[in-house]
Amino acid sequence: MRVPLPPVPLPAEVAALAQQYAEGARTPTEPRNAATVILMRPSERGPEVYYMRRQVSMDFAAGMAVYPGGGVDPRDFDASVGWAGPGPAEWASRLGCAEETARALVAAAVRETFEESGVLLAGPSADEVVADTTGADWEADRVALESRELAMTDFLNRRGLVLRTDLLGVWDAWVTPVFEPKRFATWFFVAALPQGQRTRDVSTESSSVTWLPARVAAEQADAGELALMPPTYLTSLEVGTHADPEEVLATAASRSVRMFCPTAEPYGADWTLSVPPRLRDLLASRERG
């Protein structure tokens, strides 16, 4: 069975539900802030991206292939965390949010990437990055972070590390449609796999992990071979138009984002979910191709 990717007609009951929210007859669930990271490495077929297939038992995006990420934790707001690179004020401007929220989102992006892939975007100084995180002591800290027994600030301070926020780029921002019972306002970041580090299949939320060229992931989704949520699909499609991670990061360096919430819009005789205006041409070219 094909994975429903944009544009696809909404089931009649979903379209009717969306209309109720649009008319104010229902109150949407308040979304939780989240961060996700498109972790890349070079390949002959363009940027290769790290995907995790979520456990089918999960109550959100079950069975879907996703990027490392998750909800912001209260401790991600800690202003005492070691920090190198663009400051929270600059991130706030580019992420389109309050400064304290920007600080938490960047911290969550680094934390979740480490928790779910074993890759740590941090180093002993603004010019260095951790070279290897595969030892047993690193794994013990990763597990403690994942279980919330250890705070990110304490973890970094004990190891004499600072967040390397300059290793992250801004890519996009999506919020779950209003008619969904569980919603996230998710900021998408991009980052290259640091030299010497390697990903590991460590997350308790995934059943498997894989590296795939972004454009190949989109092609597999088109063929019904890989389950991607629309934001992940469209992001993979866009990242896959670039030659390598360096080109993606160069694009991200000048990008700022606004949160996009898909809404129901006419699609022939049916309804479909809207996509960001800047991605419509890309989506149209995919359909023509």
CATH code assigned at 117: 3.90.79.10
Structure tokens at 6: 């944009």
Is residue 60 pLDDT above 90, yes or no?
Answer: no
Quick check: is 23 in a domain?
A: no
Is residue 105 pLDDT above 70, yes or no?
Answer: yes
* Cβ(180)–Cβ(88) below 8 Å: no
Tell me the CA distances in angstroms from 169 to 36, 181, 187, 199, 252, one per residue in order.
Answer: 11, 30, 11, 19, 5
Quick check: is 131 in a domain?
A: yes
Quick check: is 265 in a domain?
A: no
Quick check: is 275 in a domain?
A: no
User: Mean pLDDT score of the chain, rounded to an integer?
Assistant: 90
pLDDT bucket at 205, cuts 50 / 70 / 90: low
Beta bridge partners of residue 175, listed in sequence order:
185
The total number of structural domains in the chain stands at 1
Quick check: is 141 in a domain?
A: yes
At 208 the pLDDT is 76
When pLDDT is averaged across residues 282-289 and rounded to a whole number, the result is: 74
**34-48, 93-107, 205-219: least confidently modelled range:** 205-219
Quick check: is 140 in a domain?
A: yes
pLDDT bucket at 284, cuts 50 / 70 / 90: confident
When pLDDT is averaged across residues 88-97 and rounded to a whole number, the result is: 97
**46: domain range?**
31-214+242-255
When pLDDT is averaged across residues 50-55 and rounded to a whole number, the result is: 82
Model's pTM, two decimal places?
0.92
Quick check: is 20 in a domain?
A: no
Quick check: is 287 in a domain?
A: no
Is residue 282 pLDDT above 80, yes or no?
Answer: yes
